[in-house]
Structure 1
Amino acid sequence: MQLPPEEESRLTINIVPMIDVVFAILAFFILSTLYLTRAEGLPVTLPTAETSTAQDEAALTLTISAAGKLFLGDRPASLENLPADVQALVAPGQPAMVTVRADAATPHGVVVAAMDRIRNIDGVRLGIATQQP
């Protein structure tokens, strides 16, 4: 009596789980790099302060370049229209924090003038960005 030969199943490599793992790792690295970089606006050289402390993330960032140019977030702003621009970005009735990121070489008068304009807005607090030495 002769037995029929067993059919050997073809070995296949299923790469779908490997692709899933590769995409999961890729997504992890993309998301982790987004949290490593902080979008603080324009690059400025912040002054150093021994007593600087970390604060909660500010809702608005006012950047003042070394030349004295103002940027609210990443958009250019003028000193005259600064209160109106800030009020347009702040939710009514909600307290807001504006962080002033002034370059170390910025003239002091420009920083004080910008801070004075912002202090006249009700419900808006001011913070000054520094870095530790």
Structure 2
Amino acid sequence: MNVPDDMDTTADINIVPMIDVIFAILTFFIMSTLFMTRSEGLPVNLPNAETAETQRTEAIVVTIDPSGELSLNRNSVALPDLADQVSQLKGDRDSALVTINADTEVSHGIVVSVMDELRTVEGAQLGIATQRSQSQAVQ
């Protein structure tokens, strides 16, 4: 058996490829979690409120866009049909939180009409979506 005399060479492990793989996996998870947020309403410019609070995730969202068009959980709906469709979404639950996402450009009268229609649904609790004002969000 021939044993080499040069036993002084050390094994060299290159960890740079492993670090590249770890960063690629980390980037994948960061990017995928950014897309996991779920919003039931359509994008509108919400009014600011100093006392805005975060609520639990709502199952029923009524959105009023700047032109006054209504949508219920991202599906277009007419004002006379709103109460019936909310009742169907509420199902057998005793109560359900219905959040109104109204754009800042929407007339107050339209918001009141929607609220009046939703109050005919028994067990529907109304909430109005706002966003935190910039001074409060920084704190």
Instruction: Settle same-fold status: TM greater than 0.5.
Output: yes
Q: CA separation in 2, counterparts of 1:109 and 1:61?
A: 19
Tell me if 1:93 matches 2:93. Answer: yes
Deviations 1:9-62 (A, max 9, x none): xxxxxxxx99x9688546623542234x44242111111111211111111110
Q: Give the aligned length.
A: 126
| C-alpha separation in 2, matches of 1:93 and 1:130 | 26
Structure 1 residue 91: Cα displacement: 2.3
Q: CA deviation at 1:70?
A: 0.2
Is the CA contact 2:40–2:59 (under 8 Å) kept in the aligned structure 1? no
Specify every segment of 5 or more residues in structure 2 that has no aligned partner in the other structure, as ranges. 4-17, 134-139
Q: After the TM superposition, which residues 8-19 of structure 1 pair with which residues of structure 2 at under 5 Å, given as runs?
A: none
SS of 1:80's partner is: helix
RMSD of the TM alignment (CA)? 2.9
1:23/1:87 Cα in 2 relative to 1: closer, same or farther (>3 Å)?
Answer: farther
- For normalisation by structure 1, the TM-score amounts to 0.76
Give yes or no for contact 2:99–2:127 (8 Å, CA) kept in 1: yes
Which residue is equivalent to 1:70?
A: 70
Partner AA of 2:30 in structure 1: F
Instruction: Give % identity.
Output: 36
Stretches of 4+ aligned residues off by more than 2 angstroms? 20-31
**What is the alpha-carbon distance in structure 2 between the residues aligned to residue 130 and residue 49 of structure 1?**
6
Gaps of 5+ in 1: 6-16
Normalising by structure 2, report the TM-score: 0.73
Mapped to 2, the partners of 1:80 and 1:127 lie a distance apart of 20
